[in-house]
């Protein structure tokens, strides 16, 4: 039996297929880890998750503003899950040196950071919600000291995040749409807008609480002013002009004291409140604080109202004495002080309107015309 002779293969020939296998493997791994389709799709999917996270965070805030705490918590949890998914995709996509993918990752890293700030902001608001409610309740009861104490605690939780909101807002200005897929550009614009809206609303809660805390003494003085105004109107209705004059002088002294910088610092805070960004009792309180914590211009408008009221009181007194000419002169002086335009806050504008109507009624009496109504 003949032996089959063994083939001798040169080692040089074996090198060729080995090199081929290595080249194929290198190409495969370069696609997987060097900017191929997988890293691009991971970056795009990560962007989707990041944008979804921003949207869920914003929805969570809106439900909080609308006093739906349960729904706010559920949406916050969903936002955090989406953010974790985004981070996982970005971690996978970073195995690349593709310029477009890296640019996309830079953009969406900014979005992810912004979403994280939004989530922490929502969590902060949920943490202080009970104390915020207590602060508003104490304010409504006129217990400004307790309202200030509750507001102080809330601010310890909320204030540290303000800097992070600002940092992420600046970072979002650096997004480059060249590295954003066309199908995601509108959503990115929407997401940036939602972030900025949340930042503004969060800041409104901080301003509301600061106004309650720093406006403690101003609010107490204003409560005294409002009580004396009620007494003044009662004195005028009863024709007690001596008491009315005393009360006007006391009110004038209160207004003068409120010009002090320690009161005006609280007024400056309240002037930045935008009740339209809030809802429910928080919005109502913000509106009241804007009215009650008057700035220097508001105080000047109130002082003019008092002068106009003084001339009205004088006109009434003179008319009762039968001096129609003197009453008419005092009336005209009072109307001149009030002017024609709207001045001051909404509450003060109501006082101006009421006094003008009183002057109109007085004018008919002076001229001997029957009163309407």
Residue 57 and residue 201 share a domain = yes
Residue 130 belongs to what domain range? 32-214
Give the residue from 186, 214, 242 where a domain finishes: 214
Question: Would the pLDDT of 4 be above 70?
Answer: no
Residue 245 and residue 296 share a domain = yes
Distance CA 46, CA 366 (A): 79
Distance CA 303, CA 225 (A): 12
Question: Would the pLDDT of 182 be above 80?
Answer: yes
What is the structure's pLDDT at 341?
66
Residue 38 in domain: yes
Residue 181 and residue 283 share a domain = no
What is the structure's pLDDT at 3?
40
Residue 235 and residue 188 share a domain = no
Per the CB < 8 A criterion, the answer to whether 147 and 217 are in contact is: no
Distance CA 106, CA 97 (A): 13
Residue 8 in domain: no
> H-type helices in the chain, by residue range?
11-33, 37-65, 69-93, 99-140, 144-158, 161-172, 182-214, 216-237, 241-257, 261-271, 280-292, 296-320, 324-338, 346-366
Give the residue from 192, 214, 236 where a domain finishes: 214
Per the CB < 8 A criterion, the answer to whether 315 and 334 are in contact is: yes
The per-residue pLDDT of the chain, averaged, comes to 89
Q: pLDDT (tens digit, 9 = 90+) per residue, 249-279?
A: 999 999 999 999 999 999 999 999 999 999 9
- Sign for the pseudo-dihedral over CA of 79, 85, 86, 87: positive
CATH code, domain with 271: 1.20.58
Cα dist. 1→6, 7, 8, 149, 245 in Å? 15, 18, 21, 108, 141
* 3-state class (DSSP) for residue 132: helix
Residue 171 in domain: yes
Residue 275 and residue 194 share a domain = no
| Cβ neighbourhood burial of 81 (10 Å; 0-12, 13-18, 19+) | middle
Residue 303 and residue 167 share a domain = no
Q: What is the mean pLDDT of residues 117-140?
A: 98
Question: Would the pLDDT of 198 be above 60?
Answer: yes
Residue 76 and residue 106 share a domain = yes
Residue 318 and residue 253 share a domain = yes
Residue 121 in domain: yes
- DSSP track, 285-326: HHHHHHHHS--HHHHHHHHHHHHHHHHHHHHHHHHHTT-HHH
Per the CB < 8 A criterion, the answer to whether 31 and 24 are in contact is: no
Residue 187 and residue 230 share a domain = no
What is the structure's pLDDT at 37?
64
Q: pLDDT (tens digit, 9 = 90+) per residue, 276-308?
A: 999 999 999 999 999 999 999 999 999 999 999
Residue 99 and residue 60 share a domain = yes
Give the residue from 214, 244, 278 where a domain finishes: 214
Residue 61 and residue 202 share a domain = yes
pLDDT band at 30 (very low <50, low <70, confident <90, very high): very low
What is the structure's pLDDT at 2?
40
Residue 52 in domain: yes
What is the structure's pLDDT at 371?
54
Q: What is the mean pLDDT of residues 345-370?
A: 87
Q: What percent of the chain has pLDDT over 70?
A: 88
Q: What percent of the chain has pLDDT over 90?
A: 81
Residue 338 and residue 326 share a domain = yes
How many domains are there within the chain? Answer: 2
- Sign for the pseudo-dihedral over CA of 293, 297, 300, 304: negative
């Amino acid at each position: 039996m003949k032996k089959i002779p063994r083939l001798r293969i040169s080692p040089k020939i074996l090198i060729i297929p080995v090199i081929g296998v290595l080249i194929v493997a290198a190409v495969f791994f370069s696609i997987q880890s060097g900017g191929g389709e997988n890293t691009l799709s991971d970056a795009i999917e990560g962007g989707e998750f990041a944008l979804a996270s921003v949207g869920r965070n914003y929805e969570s805030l809106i439900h909080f503003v609308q006093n739906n705490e349960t729904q706010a918590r559920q949406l916050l949890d969903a936002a955090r899950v989406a953010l974790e998914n985004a981070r996982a995709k970005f971690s996978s996509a970073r195995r690349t040196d593709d310029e477009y993918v890296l640019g996309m990752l830079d953009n969406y890293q900014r979005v992810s950071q912004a979403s994280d700030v939004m989530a922490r902001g929502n969590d902060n608001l949920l943490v202080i919600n009970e104390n915020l409610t207590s602060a508003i309740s104490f304010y409504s009861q006129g217990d400004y000291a307790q309202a200030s104490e509750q507001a102080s605690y809330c601010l310890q939780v909320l204030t540290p995040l303000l800097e992070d909101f600002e940092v992420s807002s600046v970072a979002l200005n650096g997004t480059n749409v060249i590295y954003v897929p066309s199908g995601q550009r509108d959503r990115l614009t929407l997401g940036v807008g939602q972030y900025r809206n949340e930042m503004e609303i969060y800041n409104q809660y901080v301003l509301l609480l600061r106004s309650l805390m720093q406006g403690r003494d101003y609010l107490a003085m204003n409560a005294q002013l409002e009580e004396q105004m009620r007494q003044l109107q009662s004195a005028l209705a009863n024709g007690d002009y001596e008491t009315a004059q005393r009360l006007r002088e006391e009110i004038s002294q209160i207004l003068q004291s409120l010009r002090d910088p320690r009161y005006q610092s609280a007024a400056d805070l309240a002037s930045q409140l935008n009740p339209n960004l809030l809802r429910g009792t928080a919005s109502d309180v913000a509106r009241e604080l804007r009215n009650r914590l008057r700035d220097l211009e508001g105080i000047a408008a109130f002082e003019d109202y008092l002068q106009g009221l003084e001339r009205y009181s004088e006109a009434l007194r003179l008319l009762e004495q039968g001096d129609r000419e003197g009453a008419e002169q005092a009336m005209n002086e009072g109307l001149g002080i009030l002017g024609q335009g709207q001045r001051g806050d909404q509450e003060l504008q109501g006082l101006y309107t009421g006094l003008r109507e009183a002057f109109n009624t007085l004018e008919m009496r002076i001229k001997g015309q029957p009163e309407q109504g």
